[in-house]
Amino acid sequence: MPIMNWQMFDTNIKPIEKYPERHVFAFFRTENDTSTTALSFDSVKKIVLIFSFFVFAATSWSCNNGRPSKGNAVAGDKPSRRKAQVSIVSPANNARAALGKSLTLSAKAASEDLHIDSLQWFVDGKLLTSTSLPEITEWHTAGLTTGTHRIEVVAHYAGGDRDIVSTTVLLLAPQPPKRYTCRVVAVYPHDVGAYTQGLLYDGGFFYESTGLTGESTLRKVLPATGETIQSLNLPHEMFGEGLALVDDRLVQITWQNQTVFTYRKNDFNLLHKSTYAMKEGWGLTFDGEHLLMTDGTARLYFMDREYFTEVRRLEVCNHTGTIPLLNELEYINGELWANVYRQDEILRIDPKTGVVTGVIDMKGLLNAGDIKSDTDVLNGIAYDKLTGKIYVTGKKWPKLFEIAIKEKHENK
């Protein structure tokens, strides 16, 4: 499966709030001099512009006569092609810090003669505080989410000019995840023809979304026998992915078709078909309020349960970095459990913060004798909230397992 990991282009910029008159949110420095230019665009072009920003910024920094430029994107407020007169000292560009820590925000002027009226600090487009040099501001990250956050400072000068300087900080989990082992409680048959992309349990049945072009289905399965008792074939071009239950509606997303289907649970009648902006759809589950979706990156999207529009997003992190390739999901008792593509482990994630709190080792779940040439990866988690039972399977696996987990202690 081709993977396009475009998380590096995401900066979560909310461009409108502080520059309503211009919608300025992307900047570049020209290659032949060190002057800067601010670009103005409609917000609908945001993704393309953010991509451009990184490409141009990377080019400019590599051509900056070898000088360390502090790595900050810089822009003059007017297209005057002059250097910004302030720079961010702390945090350093691309800094990493543990979620919950307080970070120092500080900037410096290029010249002692420069008269700065005020500095406005923004985090993810929201005003944090106004101050003036050489004051230092504390940024408290407790209560935020892991992942990349954008820090911007707007310097207002005497005479009305201003500069905007920005950097990013990656907030990580404050401690390593706990480690768990897995024990098989019960074994059920599973259709080896099912390329499992979404799995859930409800009312005594599994509901499963299967993938592959021309073979994708939505199906209702009797656990005891693995028999498919109801099935719907997706249109030939549609590649089925994550599946979630919202009240009496099944919601199924697709891999690269940017299409979401909503069916009546009881008869698989198609109620609604719409599209979404993410290039890819991977995992899906429902937390009782929002649909939680992955797209093959480290991002977790919170989608509106009725209109499937994005409400918010975060980037899932452990203590060392972001975790890309998040796949099938299950919301379990306030936690998010997630498959990771091609990994024999399941992550336990705090969906409020994005922190990976646990890693469940699933190696050896399938016996060697059950592994054939087309047996694919571990994928599919289902939860029976009435009994607390947790089920897992994989793509084209002959078995589906009820599992229990136990914490793995160090040095074992």
Give least dist CB 55 to Ca ion, A: 37
Residue showing tokens 């790595």 = 71
The residue among 336 and 356 lying less far from Ca ion, judged by its C-beta, is 336
Q: Which of 66, 71, 68 is nearest to 93 (CA)?
A: 71
Structure tokens at 214: 């021309």
H or E stretch covering 230: strand 227-233
Structure tokens at 172: 């990580």
Give least dist CB 57 to Ca ion, A: 39
Please count the residues of this chain forming the interface with Ca ion, following the rule CB under 5 A.
4
Give least dist CB 170 to Ca ion, A: 28
**What is d(CA 376, CA 354) in angstroms, rounded to the nearest whole number?**
28
Cross-strand pairs, 88? 107
333: left (phi over 0), alpha (psi -120 to 50) or beta: left
Q: Are 380 and 195 in contact (CB under 8 A)?
A: no
Residue type, 248: D
CB neighbour burial string for 270-309, b if at least 16 within 10 angstroms, e if fewer: eeeeeebebebbbbbbbbeebbbbbbbbbbbbbbebeebe
Q: Applying CB under 5 A, which part among 108-116, 132-140, 196-204, 263-271 lies near Ca ion?
A: 196-204
DSSP state of 365: -
Q: Applying CB under 5 A, which part among 41-49, 174-182, 192-200, 230-238 lies near Ca ion?
A: 192-200
241 part of the interface to Ca ion, by CB under 5 A: no
Give least dist CB 330 to Ca ion, A: 4
DSSP state of 79: S
DSSP state of 282: -
Give least dist CB 223 to Ca ion, A: 15
The residue among 116 and 284 lying less far from Ca ion, judged by its C-beta, is 284
The residue among 93 and 393 lying less far from Ca ion, judged by its C-beta, is 393
335 part of the interface to Ca ion, by CB under 5 A: no
330 part of the interface to Ca ion, by CB under 5 A: yes
Residue showing tokens 């913060």 = 353
Map the footprint of Ca ion across residues 149-168, applying CB under 5 A. Answer: none
Give least dist CB 390 to Ca ion, A: 10
DSSP 3-state assignment of 216? coil
Q: Applying CB under 5 A, which part among 17-25, 260-268, 314-322, 326-334 lies near Ca ion?
A: 326-334
Beta-strand relationship, 326-332 and 95-98: unpaired
Give least dist CB 107 to Ca ion, A: 46
Report the residue number whose CB is nearest to Ca ion: 330
DSSP 3-state assignment of 61? helix
Structure tokens at 309: 């529009």
Could you tell me the sign of the dihedral formed by the alpha carbons of 355, 293, 343, 321, in that order? negative
Q: Applying CB under 5 A, which part among 21-29, 157-165, 215-223, 329-337 lies near Ca ion?
A: 329-337
Q: Applying CB under 5 A, which part among 4-12, 152-160, 268-276, 378-386 lies near Ca ion?
A: 378-386
The residue among 25 and 206 lying less far from Ca ion, judged by its C-beta, is 206
The residue among 333 and 411 lying less far from Ca ion, judged by its C-beta, is 333
Q: Applying CB under 5 A, which part among 130-138, 167-175, 200-208, 258-266 lies near Ca ion?
A: 200-208
The residue among 155 and 381 lying less far from Ca ion, judged by its C-beta, is 381
Give least dist CB 182 to Ca ion, A: 16
The residue among 163 and 402 lying less far from Ca ion, judged by its C-beta, is 402
Q: Applying CB under 5 A, which part among 83-91, 145-153, 361-369, 380-388 lies near Ca ion?
A: 380-388
Residue type, 194: A
Give least dist CB 145 to Ca ion, A: 22
Q: Are 226 and 194 in contact (CB under 8 A)?
A: no
Interacting residues toward Ca ion by CB under 5 A: 199-200, 330, 381
